[in-house]
Structure formats: C-alpha cells, structure tokens
Structure 1
C-alpha cells in the first residue's frame, strides 16, 4: 500500500481525493491546504502547510493540485523528499522554469487522457508525425473564472488550462525541431477574465512539420470535444477522439470514464529506483517543449477584441 499526500484541495484536488480513495494500492493519508475549498474525505488528516505534511507523513506518492508556480515549487520539494510526484498542469507558465533539476526525473504531469485506449501502444512505438491538429470545443461559465484563474499571469490562457492535454500528446509525436513561424489569433468575447475565449494557430517547424490548433471555451451549440488528428510519416491518419481524448483510438461509445483513467495513471507511477516506465506517463522535462510552443503562440498572436456577448 502506497502512502499518498494530496497538496491542494480545490476543484481539481477534490477530483484526485475522490479517485485516490477508490484506487487499490493507494492510501490517502493526508491533504495539505491552508484554505481547502473542499473538505478532505472522512478520516484523512488535513494540514495547512505542505512542507509540514511532507516531513510528518513521509509519503511515497505526492499529488500536487495547486495553481501554476506554487505547483512546481511543491512538486520539486516533494521529489527531493524521495516521493514519486504527480503534478497538475500547467505546472508553470514560464518554460524557463523547467530548466532541468536533478529531482525532475521523479515528477510526472497529470495527463490522464494519455491513458485512453490505444495510446500506450502508440506512444511506445513512437511513430513520427509531420502534421497534427488539436481541436477543443467546450464551455466554461463565469464561475470557472474566479480567484487565480481570473488573470492570465496566474492561470495562462485556453492553451494552458484546456487544450494542453491534446497539445502535449501531439508534440510527443512531432519531431523536436525549432519553431519556424506561427500565425495565431486570440479572440476575447465574454471578457469574464483576462484569458481568451478562442485561439487559432498554425505553427510551422524547421523540419516542415506543422501543428494547427483551434481551441474555444465559449461554445454553446457545438458538440463538446477535445481531439487530436495525426498524419504519420507512413501515410496513416490517427484520430484520437472524445470529449477529452478519453476514447483514444477506440469507439467513443465505449470510452472509459475519468475515474478509470485516473486510476490507470496512479497505478503507472513508478515506485523505487527509476526503470522502464509506462509509455503514457508524461515526465516533467517533456513539458518544457509544450510550454515553449504555447508561449510562442501567445507572443505572436493577433488579438481580436469583440463586443461582450455574455448572458
């Protein structure tokens, strides 16, 4: 039984608490949060400081579900303590923060959709994609944009908070070459926060690979989906489907639920000395390229301001 500490008890932390208490082999022994939005499960110790919790509980696994910036500091401290760490995206907004540190090999990013059916085999084979398209259509209400999510400087934009699951997956299979150019547009409609409602981007790389993105969080009428289409070197077209990639390469009607995907992710976390890892796990060092692409898209984007249409 692995002892688990959860850092952060907000909306996302509560999802982890629910899933961890239903995962065999995981024992949630504590939650650290100075002002929890959601109370920990019955019988689970609540501490105000994660530093104290690390020292007192000596966990085997630490799940970090705090806003960007704080998340990286806590994750690295937990890894230095000897724990295996799972940290929520986007971890940080600045790619430079992910300059390599020795403890980073114990830290993984919580991309549970990467455990969708068929993706482990695809990632293990590592085929090369020359074109990738990420599509996101969802709906976020005014309540979502509160506290730290109100400001771009603390939460980032749609690509950091919503489309990052698909972007990270696509970039795992595109060649790791420098960005050659980017054409992007950012649309702000509802003006509930500093973040945008929609961003479209075409990013070309030096080796002629191309990544396109169409991500929107203001949809009412469209079918909600988060999908990735890959055009592989061998001519195959791979379509990762679902409301949040959860169908993977299989039939969306038989897609696993969020709980099942989270449980698979927890069980894949390595214990003890580094060795072969589950191909769907996303190591923290890989996140730097994803954040560099996101940062480049926003820095070069043309801003389109529109009249507010919020009801």
Structure 2
C-alpha cells in the first residue's frame, strides 16, 4: 500500500520533507502541495513532480483525499492547516513547534490524531540510550548553541511572539529539549532566565534553565542564537556511564561517546547495543508509515509533544516571573497557557 501524502506549505522545510519522502520509495505517493502563494506552490510541485498544486487547502484535500498531511507552514499557520487536514479525514504530521501555545495544542489534540516532527528521536543512538541500563540518571546538560545574524530575523514572521511563539527556546532548542525529555521523562520544576541580549527581536535570543525530573535527575539547558561556534550537545551522567552526543543539525553513529564508570566497562559495552543509523526526517517518516500500516498512533504522540511544549512554556514562565515553575503553573488559568510570553517579557514593560 502506498500512503497518499499532501504537503501544506511549500517553503524550505517542505523541500526537506519531500526529499526524505522520496527516499522511502513506493511506500509513499506525494499527491499535492499547497501554499497561500499559489505561484510558489506550482513552482514547488513542478520541481518535485507533484501532480496537484493550489492555494486553497480544504479544496485541494477534498480533491486529492490524502491519508496523511505534512504541515510545513510557518508556525503561526500550523493550527489552521492541521484543523483543515483533520476535517478532511487525514492524519496529521506537523512540524515543530506544533502550535504557538499550550491552549492551541490542547484544542488541536482534542480534534484528532496529530503527531509532531521531532526527528532526532529516531536515530539509532537515542533508541539505544532509551533501552540501555546504565543505572539511575543523575545529571544532564542540554545545549543548543547556534548562531543567527540579525538578517535572519529581518524576515517578517521571525522573532515575533505572534508568529513563532518564541525565540530559540521555542524554535531552535526545542529539538534538544525534546531529546532530553525522551531520555529523562517527566519534568517537575524549572528555574530559568531569558534575555534579549543582542538581536533586534520581540522574543528572547538566549535562555538558560535548571530542570528537575521526577526520577531525581537534574539538567542544565541553554538555548542560544548568539554563539559563533555552533554546537548541539547533550550529556547524560548515569550511575555507571556518561553518554554524550555532540552534533549540529543532525547526528550519526560517530557523534556519540560512551564512557563507563570504573569497574563497569564490560556491562556498559554489553548494554550499548541496538540499532544504528542517523537521525533525520527520513527515519521519523519511516516510523510514521510503520504506525499507519499497523493502525497504531503516529510518533511523536500528542502526549509526548505536549510535555516538550510545556517545558518550553515553563522556561518562559520562570524567566519572566522570577519564580520556580511546576507543570500545573503553566496549565489552564495561567497566562503562559494562553501565550508563551504570558503577560510579557521584562523588556516590554513601559
């Protein structure tokens, strides 16, 4: 069976999606590309051999009847595109961040089956780590140290709360933060700072957080777009091993390093076994197809994506209120449930 796929949004991330889908061969058929700029949609579809292009998403979905819609619009348009896809009877795979707020996410999750693109979960190294028995997790580091010049933010929809939902905490570091949670599980408390340090933006360009977990582990988290030497880094110190991942926008098997504690060399070597392979969209898309064919929920599930989005909200809440934040503090009734910036960052004050 070939899964019929439509792509909503035809910018650069859509190109990455389609190229990854092509690598899956006859398991998929890309039937349509849709964009509010119809000329861009036509150009995109012609370049990728996609038969149907258009600007009216509901109309294109009704005409092509896809099984799955990949939502690749700018973040501020994710919610409407996903709703349209669900109304057409399709499953939905939405790029990160899935929505701009927790309130929007809960509304979307209640509307139907939606999965989020967090492709770094699907590399062999993370799948090994999630099953390895290295003892209790004790401390972790999660750094997204990237560089984006001012010109990057001069695109109208970038650097604004109402179109991106936040700065590097929301739009850049969310991938590493999602991996952190995939390994360590439920977070319980956050203390954070966020700054508009150097870029002319409405959002932050830097955040730092201390995160506590239900299993007793603690982690430091840095999200920056001010770092000329770019690096994405995760480090987990367990009782019997240190596991490190250093990469930039995607990792392979060579990006991992495992260091046993003295006396645990043989046990750690035996535990560090399992699947190989790089992270990337292709790996997640293959897992999505497997789930569709088996009639199972698509990865990454709404519950998993919400946990990551709630951590993002908690970083902002702690940074902007100056207080420790627990999961309930960003639930319904909190200003940070309705808007990632809550009542606004300090630099918006009169």
Q: Identify whether the pair has TM-score above 0.5, normalized to the shorter chain.
A: yes
Name which one, 1 or 2, has greater alpha-carbon Rg: 2
> C-alpha deviations, 1:181-236, integer Å up to 9, x for none?
41324242032x2233322221235664323111211222x2x221221233x433
Q: How many residue pairs align between the two structures?
A: 291
Does 1:41 find its partner at 2:49?
Answer: no
Residues 226-245 of structure 1: matches in 2 within 5 Å? Answer: 226-232=232-238, 234-245=239-250
Instruction: Name the counterpart of 2:157.
Output: 148
Does 1:214 find its partner at 2:222?
Answer: yes
Q: Secondary structure at the match of 2:193?
A: strand
Q: 1:55 to 1:123 in 2, by over 3 A?
A: farther
Determine which of 102, 105, 110 is the counterpart of 1:98: 105
Q: 1:89 to 1:199 in 2, by over 3 A?
A: same
Higher helix share: 2
Q: 1:73 to 1:273 in 2, by over 3 A?
A: farther
Residues 162-311 of structure 1: matches in 2 within 5 Å? Answer: 162-179=172-189, 181-191=190-200, 193-205=201-213, 208-220=216-228, 222=229, 224-232=230-238, 234-247=239-252, 250-252=253-255, 261-269=280-288, 270-272=291-293, 274-275=295-296, 281-301=299-319
Contiguous gaps of at least 5 residues in structure 2: 257-275, 321-344
Q: 1:177 to 1:162 in 2, by over 3 A?
A: closer
Contiguous gaps of at least 5 residues in structure 1: 306-311
CA RMSD across the alignment: 2.9
Q: 1:59 to 1:169 in 2, by over 3 A?
A: same
Q: Secondary structure at the match of 1:34?
A: coil
Task: Please report the TM-score for the alignment, with normalisation by the length of structure 1.
Answer: 0.81
Deviation at 1:9, TM superposition (A): 1.0
Task: Please report the TM-score for the alignment, with normalisation by the length of structure 2.
Answer: 0.73
